Amino acid sequence: IDEKILITFSGSVDINTFNLSVLVIDARGKKIVKVDDIKDYDLSDIKGVLLQTDSQPLLFEEEYSNEYTILSLDAAVYLVNKGITLVGIDYLTFDTTDYKVHSFFSKNNVFILECLDLRKVIPGKYRLMCFPLKLKGFEASPVRAILEV
């Protein structure tokens, strides 16, 4: 599933944090992913959520597009309250230009995984391994992201 993947984090982190159970959610057809779009999923044994969106094709365009799917702040709060520690998306971002969702996730130690190639992934539960490079003084790192059934 990897392409140009970046993971955003701050501080030092246990490497095992990046080997976790995830749920891939089909959010295609949504311009804004809201709590109502994710509340019916069982997240009890899940640590990460990866969102498949209509933005995926935009990732491979040469020009940046601001017509991408957004994750609402309410949905971000819901995911944090459910114990989610990583949220991924199939585009460069899922946030508005004010970066309120990024800021909220950062304050709550939730990792952000962007630029995922989820085109051939069937929604469902997986084990995600996405180990960042050990870099000092950076807030993000490229990763090699692998989903295991």
Q: Quick check: 2 pLDDT over 50?
A: no
* pLDDT (tens digit per residue) in 24-58: 999 999 999 999 999 999 999 999 999 999 999 89
State yes or no: pLDDT of 136 exceeds 80: no
| Closest CA relative to residue 91, chosen from 70, 74, 111 | 70
Mean pLDDT, the chain, rounded, equals 89
Q: Taking residues 92-113, report their average pLDDT.
A: 91
Place of tokens 């994710």: 38
Q: d(Cα 48, Cα 19) in Å, to the nearest integer? A: 10
pLDDT band of 12, cuts 50, 70, 90 = low
